[in-house]
Chains A and B, each alone.
Chain A
Amino acid sequence: MFPNAVKKLIAIILAAAILLPGAAFAKDELQNYDHDKYLVEVDVSNQVVTVYQKDDDGEFTRIVRRFVCTTGQTQDKGIDDPASPTPTGKWKAGTRERFGKFANFTGEYARYWTQVVGGIYFHSIMFGSREADDLKKSPYNTLGKDASHGCIRLYIEDAKWLYYNACFGTTVNIVSKGRQKGLTASLKSELSFKDYNALQSNIYDEEPMEDAQAWIVKDNTELRTGNGTNDKLIKRLEKDTELTVLQEGDPWAKVVADGREGYVRRCYITYEKGVMQSREDGKFVAGTQNLYAAPDTGSERLYKVARHSSIVVVDDQIDPDGKWTLVNYWGTLGYLQSRNIKTGWATIYDEPFATDMDKDVDIGVDAARQAALSHAEVSAEDIVMAKDGERISWNGTDRQSYLFEFYTSDLTKEYEYEIDPATGLILGYDYDAESVDVEEMKAAEEAALAAAEEAARLAEEAAKAAEEAEASSEG
């Protein structure tokens, strides 16, 4: 708990951290810039969304808001109406729009869009036009059932809450928790459609901010009906075409170009004419990938990273085989499999999102050692430690890391780890299964034994001296 002044300061710092990568997300009218403040859980089996905040122990247990929803249809209902389930997994909330038109559904609109991933959004139940009193009745009545094309439909007030508070980078966890009797019904509005429509059209809001302007930086940029390369091509845009940006997302931005609404790749536009905010040799993920907590597919899956997302590479030389890359994904540090990271057009993040690595904290040598041993899948009893948490410069930078070198007791493997003191993340590791230097290992053992004997001798001497001093003072 912080005093309000400190909270405001933190909010400003976080806002600055998020807004720094160019003007890409400056349009957002958020009331919260701390992407770690809320956890949004979507339970597709009950059609319920629950927003948690942290309790006094830092765990997401306190319910801020809970509401009924309509998620993607889970059953095929004929050849023209296939299943379109909402993709489960842990995502980071992305771009947003106040009152948007479905680019690929004719004549439908919704209020307060907040992106989950790709074309999957939280948004209000649908409207027939961009008029607040033109709410459609059928989506109101179907709330609580799986009926959408994958998006998560909500009451207007709930969509609005998410729009303002589930800021860019907020965790959205889509799960199936099993049916809980009565829950969905208890969250449904008891108002008739007429009464609800009257109420919702009166919900207060500030005037919307002006949409950002941008320009195309690459000839033949495709304007599509959705945010995917499979969506229908509307037209090709020439370099320097001016755009109005409706959703400032990455990898796709929703824009109006030449009077048509559609989607273009974020890396093909700039918010400052003549200035490149993307590059041809940037890094992005080829397909939707898991972000792991450690360089190990068995480790915790932190998030799913959407296809074509631009990536900030922190270190691509962390392991001997080059299989893993440490990345900063919208403020979360984690590991991607290197083979899934491609070079090509991607957004430049000159000022990457602040991460826990930037915090002035130290987890301590014990926790750092445990991180290394866990990854090596050995226990402290099974190894001989040669270097135990020596502080060294990481990659020749000012940043320090803990260095650990150890051998297995059976002399079959030798390990070396560099651990980040702030996060416990593995910054580099190596192992050798054949060339264990027995002499070096024995020397380390002998040195450790000699040090222990010397410590015991000194302790004995100190005790003896104390006894003598006590005896002389009594005498």
Chain B
Amino acid sequence: MKRSIAIAILAVASLCMGAAIGIFNLQASPAVQAPAEEVAEEPPVTIALLSSDEEFVKAVEEQAGDKYIVRQVSSAEEITPEDIVVSYMDEAPVPEGFEGPQIVFTDAPHDEEAGKLYALVDENAAVKAAWDALYTYPTHCAPIRMLALFTTADGMAYETYTEMLHQGKLWEKGVYFVDSTGVPSEEWTKEALDGVTVGLLDTIFAETAELAKAAYSALKEADRNDSVEVICPELDQELVELMIEDHWLMGAAVGGAASNAAASAIEMVEGLLENSETESVIIEPKVIYSDDVIALYKSGVTDVTEIMAELMK
């Protein structure tokens, strides 16, 4: 999807959501209409979570704490009229006739529907953020000489790559595809690095955390003294550990969309319960830079989970 189209969709979707909030004023179940002070005296509110994204489910559970009961459901039959439904992306539809409040996380344009709040999730946002980080951090101002590791040529990551290549922003030194290159990514990266003289390479883009780890290993083994960084649109704890191990090699990773979405879900639930006007949200991922990780680490924050939490704020 072209960036301009994506932005347009997001803008339209935001307007729709705002309209939904204004028009429908969210006629909710009795539990929802009760003032916040009185809720505490009633049974805890249950969030029925229609999501198969384990990261999102875990994040919602963590952020709900003891305040709400979170129940992961996989079908419409499991939803009760007292629930607040949070559906995340392409999950099973809520049963017809359900009149309770719903919070819908979606990446698609949608029609206005009574009783629904929308949160816009751009599934390609992490990829876009990673490319942006690659191009601007540090600012190269010359075509970025790079190796690129993709899962496939059909995804958004490769689409953006070819677009930037044609714009004269990138300089291809080698491209790898999990589904077609035919050798393990680490082996391929080692060979590719052997073929590029020290000083002629800036970055390695790795589409997944797994590819990033392979690229990191290959770079580590190559023991070069040029400043080549791995940039990845996925983030996990292991990548942050690699940033601590060698911040020169593991440059940046993008994550936190699930965590941000969970935080937004809880905020929207609270808004509904308090009957306050809930504002539209667009879920953005966060770029984690190794410089920031190492700065925190050196300041005494050595627990990786804490570092991630701090940088996700």
Interface residues of A (CB under 8 A from B): 1-4, 6-7, 31-32, 50-51, 53, 61-67, 157-158, 160-161, 163-165, 186-187, 199, 202-205
Q: 1/0 contact trace for B154-187 toward A, CB 8 Å? A: 0000000000001111010000000000000000
At the interface, yes or no: B295 with Cβ under 8 Å from chain A?
A: yes
Residues of B within 8 A of A51 (CB): 199
Q: Evaluate contact between A62 and B226: CB separation under 8 angstroms.
A: yes
**Closest chain A CB from B73 CB (angstroms):** 41
Nearest 7 CB-CB pairings of A with B:
A66-B199, A164-B141, A202-B168, A63-B226, A161-B142, A31-B139, A204-B168
Q: Evaluate contact between B227 and A62: CB separation under 8 angstroms.
A: yes
At the interface, yes or no: B222 with Cβ under 8 Å from chain A?
A: no
Q: Evaluate contact between A203 and B142: CB separation under 8 angstroms.
A: yes
Residues of A within 8 A of B298 (CB): 1
Residues of A within 8 A of B142 (CB): 157-158, 160-161, 164, 203
Cα distance A14–B262 in the bound complex, in angstroms: 40
Other than A3-B292, A187-B200, give 7 A-B pairs with Cβ distance below 8 A.
Answer: A1-B295, A1-B298, A32-B139, A66-B197, A187-B199, A202-B167, A203-B143
Q: Please pick, from A7, A63, A199, A204, the residue contacting B225 in the complex, using a CB distance under 8 A.
A: A63
At the interface, yes or no: B98 with Cβ under 8 Å from chain A?
A: no
Cα distance A50–B294 in the bound complex, in angstroms: 27
Cα distance A65–B145 in the bound complex, in angstroms: 10
Contact flag A165-B141 (CB < 8 Å), given A1-B247, A62-B248, A186-B197: yes
- Between A and B, how many residue pairs show CB distances below 8 Å? 75
Q: Evaluate contact between B139 and A66: CB separation under 8 angstroms.
A: no
A163's nearest neighbour on chain B, judged by CB, is B141
Q: Evaluate contact between A203 and B168: CB separation under 8 angstroms.
A: yes
Contact flag A157-B143 (CB < 8 Å), given A3-B292, A64-B227, A204-B167: yes
Q: Please pick, from A4, A160, A187, A204, the residue contacting B289 in the complex, using a CB distance under 8 A.
A: A4
Q: Evaluate contact between A187 and B197: CB separation under 8 angstroms.
A: yes
B135's nearest neighbour on chain A, judged by CB, is A204
At the interface, yes or no: B3 with Cβ under 8 Å from chain A?
A: no
Q: Evaluate contact between B227 and A204: CB separation under 8 angstroms.
A: no
Q: Evaluate contact between A62 and B200: CB separation under 8 angstroms.
A: no
Interface size on B, as a range, is 20 to 34
Q: List 11 A-B contacts (CB under 8 A).
A: A4-B291, A4-B292, A6-B295, A61-B225, A62-B248, A63-B198, A63-B225, A67-B200, A161-B140, A163-B141, A164-B142
**Closest chain B CB from A47 CB (angstroms):** 14
Interface centre among A62, A63, A66, A67 (most CB of B within 10 A): A63
**Closest chain B CB from A288 CB (angstroms):** 30
Interface centre among B142, B143, B298 (most CB of A within 10 A): B142
Residues of A within 8 A of B295 (CB): 1-3, 6
* Residues of A contacting B: mostly: mixed
Q: Evaluate contact between B291 and A1: CB separation under 8 angstroms.
A: yes
Cα distance A162–B168 in the bound complex, in angstroms: 17
Q: Please pick, from A2, A53, A157, A205, the residue contacting B171 in the complex, using a CB distance under 8 A.
A: A157
A202's nearest neighbour on chain B, judged by CB, is B168
Within B220-235, the residues touching A (CB, 8 Å) are 225-227
Residues of B within 8 A of A65 (CB): 199, 202
Residues of A within 8 A of B141 (CB): 31, 160-161, 163-165, 205
Cα distance A161–B291 in the bound complex, in angstroms: 22
Q: Evaluate contact between A66 and B294: CB separation under 8 angstroms.
A: no
Within B280-297, the residues touching A (CB, 8 Å) are 289, 291-292, 294-296
B299's nearest neighbour on chain A, judged by CB, is A3
Residues of B within 8 A of A62 (CB): 225-227, 248
**Closest chain A CB from B142 CB (angstroms):** 4
Residues of B within 8 A of A160 (CB): 141-142
Q: Evaluate contact between A164 and B139: CB separation under 8 angstroms.
A: yes
Residues of A within 8 A of B171 (CB): 157
Q: Evaluate contact between A7 and B291: CB separation under 8 angstroms.
A: yes
Q: Evaluate contact between B199 and A204: CB separation under 8 angstroms.
A: no
Residues of B within 8 A of A61 (CB): 225
Cα distance A31–B139 in the bound complex, in angstroms: 7
Q: Evaluate contact between A3 and B226: CB separation under 8 angstroms.
A: no
**Closest chain A CB from B245 CB (angstroms):** 13
Cα distance A197–B227 in the bound complex, in angstroms: 27
**Closest chain A CB from B155 CB (angstroms):** 23
**Closest chain A CB from B241 CB (angstroms):** 17
Within B100-153, the residues touching A (CB, 8 Å) are 139-143
Contact flag A67-B199 (CB < 8 Å), given A4-B291, A157-B171: yes
Q: Evaluate contact between B197 and A204: CB separation under 8 angstroms.
A: no
A66's nearest neighbour on chain B, judged by CB, is B199
A61's nearest neighbour on chain B, judged by CB, is B225
Cα distance A67–B143 in the bound complex, in angstroms: 14
Q: Evaluate contact between A1 and B225: CB separation under 8 angstroms.
A: no
Q: Please pick, from B143, B227, B291, the residue contacting A3 in the complex, using a CB distance under 8 A.
A: B291
Cα distance A472–B291 in the bound complex, in angstroms: 59
A200's nearest neighbour on chain B, judged by CB, is B168
**Closest chain A CB from B214 CB (angstroms):** 23
B144's nearest neighbour on chain A, judged by CB, is A157
Cα distance A4–B292 in the bound complex, in angstroms: 7
Residues of A within 8 A of B202 (CB): 65
B198's nearest neighbour on chain A, judged by CB, is A63
Contact flag A66-B225 (CB < 8 Å), given A1-B247, A164-B139, A204-B169: no
**Closest chain B CB from A332 CB (angstroms):** 24
Interface centre among A32, A67, A203 (most CB of B within 10 A): A203
Residues of B within 8 A of A50 (CB): 199
**Closest chain B CB from A36 CB (angstroms):** 15
Residues of A within 8 A of B140 (CB): 161
Residues of B within 8 A of A67 (CB): 199-200
Residues of A within 8 A of B296 (CB): 3
Within B225-259, the residues touching A (CB, 8 Å) are 225-227, 247-248
Cα distance A173–B229 in the bound complex, in angstroms: 26
Residues of B within 8 A of A64 (CB): 199, 226-227
B171's nearest neighbour on chain A, judged by CB, is A157
Q: Please pick, from A2, A6, A66, A187, the residue contacting B226 in the complex, using a CB distance under 8 A.
A: A66
Residues of A within 8 A of B143 (CB): 157, 203-204
Cα distance A370–B145 in the bound complex, in angstroms: 47
Q: Evaluate contact between A63 and B227: CB separation under 8 angstroms.
A: yes
A183's nearest neighbour on chain B, judged by CB, is B197
**Closest chain B CB from A159 CB (angstroms):** 9
Residues of A within 8 A of B292 (CB): 3-4
Cα distance A202–B163 in the bound complex, in angstroms: 13
Residues of B within 8 A of A1 (CB): 247, 291, 294-295, 298
A203's nearest neighbour on chain B, judged by CB, is B168
B287's nearest neighbour on chain A, judged by CB, is A4
Cα distance A203–B165 in the bound complex, in angstroms: 10
Cα distance A233–B291 in the bound complex, in angstroms: 52
Residues of B within 8 A of A63 (CB): 198-199, 225-227
Cα distance A157–B292 in the bound complex, in angstroms: 29
B296's nearest neighbour on chain A, judged by CB, is A3
**Closest chain B CB from A203 CB (angstroms):** 4
Cα distance A186–B294 in the bound complex, in angstroms: 34
B167's nearest neighbour on chain A, judged by CB, is A204
A50's nearest neighbour on chain B, judged by CB, is B199
**Closest chain A CB from B112 CB (angstroms):** 40
